[in-house]
A and B are shown apart, each in its own frame.
Chain A
Amino acid sequence: MSSPDEWTHPVPGEGPPATAAAPTAERVIAGLRATSEGGEDLVQLLTPEGERVPNERFDRYIADVTDEDIRGLYRDMVLVRRADRESNALQRQGQLGIWVPLLGQEAAQIGVGRAMRHTDMAFPSYREHGVAWCKGITPQQLLGIFRGTDNGGWDSAATRFHPYTIVIGNQVLNAAGYAMGQRFEGKVGDDSDGTAEATVCFFGDGATSQGDVHEGFVWASVYDAPLVFFCQNNQWAISEPTERQSRLPLYQRARGYGFPGIRVDGNDVLATLAVSRWALDECRHGNGPILIEAFTYRMDAHTTTDDPTRYRLSDEVETWKLKDPLERVRVHLIRHEMADDAFFEQVQAESDQMAAELRDYCFNMPDPPVRQMFDNVYSEPHPYLEAQRDEYVDYVAGFAGGEH
């Protein structure tokens, strides 16, 4: 299909049957373009080959990063990837209803996650397992959503990590409001004592088409909110390439709203750390908001229910594997003798143990009590709902075994 007329008025019966499971030429081109088009504005500090690239503007934001810090970033990424792979496997074994893989986006998430202070608030979408890790949320705590025992098992106020938001784009407005509140409370402007705050909201390339994201850009800008819009462009919104969302590179949209936008190599943890530190610093000093487009790649499916072979070629995935976010740090550490075998073996052993604990935890997660769905719908008394709950709990209790 080539003409707009055909796109909007397809002839019934034309085109391959749904079972053909082959990407169209158009999609192949879109995908291949993505692998080659980070563009000249892409901020990269560590090449896929593990070479450190000097950058006049951003080097100072990681000038204090020690060898140990880089080993720490590597460890973060290994553990987060391992938890992701283990959770994916748990879904395949029927232990989780669904899993949302993070594979390939570890550097983007660890980079920004480690740039945030504890007092900075995060509003995630639903793939931010790496950011959750940085916020002190364990892989175990993420499982409830995907096993169906709860809708988020962490304390969002204490961790400053809002519950996962499934409706695409909703959280961007919520984050804008929170960041407005930080400003209203005087937490923006003076960071001399390190108490200034900022907020980061997370969304994908597909979400940029949502009205709520557009409104979030408007609100954050007119209220000068200390908000970092962190868009992980992983090239695919389920089956739709980024070109179905935008004519323009996404980071350039910020200009239309009156704030800076920047594209960073989302597979480069050092670049993402540096750019995020810069953006958070700007926001804390009252120069927000800022849009960061982390140019990355979703190496696995959208979720465990998705089949990416229907819309993209394995060649594309193979191309991106050469840009793997972990591999380039590993090579960097080895080449510059910043880590020895013992370090890598220790990280490996740690991830093995974490995976075993995660599996064990998952297998032993109890089903929630029936009354859980009734409780906390409201904070204040609600006689009708309470009567409904009591009647049903009694009803269930009437069966052999009662409520489990």
Chain B
Amino acid sequence: MAAPVLSETNSAASTVRKLTIGKALNLGLRAAMEADPKVIMMGEDVGKLGGVFRITDGLQKDFGEHRVLDTPLAESGIIGTAVGLAVRGFRPVCEIQFDGFIFPGFDQIVSQVAKLQARTQGRQRMPIVIRVPFGGGIGAVEHHSESPESYFAHTAGLRVVSCSNAVDAYWMIQQAVRCDDPVLFFEPKRLYHSGNMKAEVDTAATPDPLFSSRVVRQGAAVTLVSYGPSVKVCLDAATAAEEEGRSLEVIDLRTLSPLDLAPVFESVRRTGRLVVVTEAPSESSLSSEIAARVQRECFYSLEAPIMRVTGFDVPYPPAKLEEHFLPDLDRVLHTVDQSLAF
């Protein structure tokens, strides 16, 4: 099985490459396929085309049609057959083309993928990864810009993660594929090919554990917590705040289920203030859950109510309105001001 990209890296005698998030995911998937012949890719247009976002580019050519499956156009079919393939011993990696198209597969995800391990008292593993390009900001039509992660974080039996940068993209996808539990893997689609997000990825490095959160910028005044595409918004806000003399700490959750809130508790005990930033609407969401747990653990440290900057509780709006829907630097800083005013 040829692996032209990685061997090129090796022949250059360096394991470090500057990659976009999209390319990092592509190389991560390639590495996962090389590491285990039971790993297969499934999805609409993932083969010849390499996926509508080209995340699986070149994989079918190198690994063959039985390992990179251009599937019929049916999301329940993708997930439902992945379950059967997993029973057979495969490790399917399913691509859902866009966030808003996952719902035909929702039944199979919550009824079978999530429950089979418990139903069989652990005899049947479900090592399935479901990759979902998510979030807005790409000027798309309906159903192409959604943030459905809370549905899955709410479902027992699933694990949910989201990457925000190229280094995590490269490692987290490989770790998700190795995980024996089903993993919903949310990818920040608007940042896939952003040149600004290019980062140096050392393919010989040792990554953090998959289900761990991380402080990505240290600060003292207010803690910002986010994941996926909104991490960049928070980092930009922290940079802008610094010019005004305010020091914001930014935490990238990375894992949404299970949540790893230890770094958040530690941070909030120092800052006394927490702002949670998500594109997903606020009601009964991950941001609600984070607020509930932080108030329980950090009650006596809080100097202000826990605040949220989120998408509104409306269907994702037409593209000309999405800049109002999406949390941006100004809304984050505005909410930071409100927190500090307490």
- B residues in contact with A175, CB < 8 Å: 84
Q: What's the least CB distance linking B106 to chain A, in Å?
A: 12
Contact of B150 with A by CB under 8 A: no
- Pair B88/A181 contact, Cβ less than 8 Å: yes
Interfacial chain B residues near A211, Cβ < 8 Å: 76, 104
> Beyond A156-B120, A156-B123, is A174–B83 a contact (Cβ under 8 Å)?
yes
Q: Quick check: B180 and A380 within 8 Å, CB to CB?
A: yes
Contact A152-B120, Cβ < 8 Å, known A215-B72, A218-B77, A378-B159: yes
Chain A residues contacting B157 (CB-CB under 8 Å) are 377-378
Interface bits A143-168 vs B (CB < 8 Å: 1, else 0) = 00000001110011100001101010
Is the beta-carbon distance between A379 and B180 smaller than 8 angstroms?
yes
CB neighbours (8 Å) of A48 from chain B are: none
Contact of A177 with B by CB under 8 A: yes
Say yes or no for A170: interface residue by CB 8 A criterion: yes
The reply to whether B81 and A155 contact each other, CB–CB distance below 8 Å, is: no
Within 8 A of B (CB), among A111-146: 123
Q: List B contacts of A170 (CB < 8 A).
A: 80, 107-108, 111-112
B242 to chain A, nearest CB (A): 34
Q: Find out whether the CB atom of A375 lies under 8 angstroms from the CB atom of B76.
A: no
Interface size, chain A (Cβ < 8 Å): 44
The B96-135 residues at the A interface (CB cut-off 8 A) are 104, 107-108, 111-112, 116-125
Decide if B88 touches A176 in the complex (CB within 8 Å).
Answer: no
Which residue on A lies nearest to B122, using beta carbons? A376
Q: Which residues of A contact B81 (CB under 8 A)?
A: 173-174, 176-177, 180, 219
Min CB distance, A24 to chain B, in Å? 32
The reply on A216 being an interface residue by CB < 8 A is yes
Of the listed stretches A27-35, A99-107, A381-389, name the one at the interface; the rest are far from the partner chain.
Answer: A381-389
B258 within 8 A of A: yes
Cross-chain contact A218 with B80 (CB below 8 angstroms):
no
Beta-carbon contact of A219 and B122 below 8 Å: no
| Contact pattern, B 168-186, Cβ under 8 Å of A = 1, otherwise 0 | 0000000000011100000
For A383, give its contact among B104, B118, B258 (CB under 8 Å): B258
Is B112's CB under 8 angstroms from A174's CB?
Answer: yes
Q: Does A178 contact B (CB under 8 A)?
A: yes
Chain A residues with CB below 8 A from B125, complex form: 379
Cα of A372 to Cα of B119 in the assembled complex, Å: 11
Which of A167, A181, A385 contacts B89, CB < 8 Å? A181
Q: How far is the CA of A212 from the CA of B77 in the complex (A)?
A: 7
The verdict on B291 contacting chain A, using a C-beta distance below 8 Å, is: no
Question: A361 within 8 Å of B by Cβ?
Answer: no
- On whether the beta carbons of B119 and A163 are closer than 8 Å, the reply is yes
**A170-B107, A219-B72 in contact; A177/B122 too (CB < 8 A)?**
no
**Does the CB pair B122–A174 fall under 8 Å?**
no
Interface presence of A232 (CB below 8 A): no
Select the residue from A151, A170, A172, A177 with max chain B CB neighbours within 10 A. Answer: A177
- Check if A356 is an interface residue, CB within 8 A of chain B: no
Q: Which residues of A contact B138 (CB under 8 A)?
A: none
Q: Which residue of B lies closest to A199 (CB)?
A: B84
Q: Which of A221-256 contact B (CB under 8 A)?
A: 222
Would B87 and A380 count as touching, CB distance under 8 A?
A: no
Pairs A–B under 8 Å by Cβ, sample size 6 = A170-B112, A173-B81, A176-B84, A215-B72, A380-B181, A384-B259
Interface residues of B (CB under 8 A from A): 40, 66, 71-72, 74, 76-77, 79-90, 104, 107-108, 111-112, 116-125, 156-157, 159, 179-181, 258-259
Closest 9 CB pairs of A and B: A177-B84, A173-B80, A177-B81, A181-B88, A376-B122, A178-B84, A215-B77, A379-B180, A151-B119
| Further pairs besides A170-B111, A182-B88: 4, Cβ < 8 Å | A170-B107, A177-B80, A219-B72, A376-B121
**Contacts from A to B (Cβ < 8 Å):** 123, 150-152, 155-157, 162-163, 165, 167, 170, 172-182, 184-185, 211-212, 215-216, 218-219, 222, 372-373, 375-380, 382-385
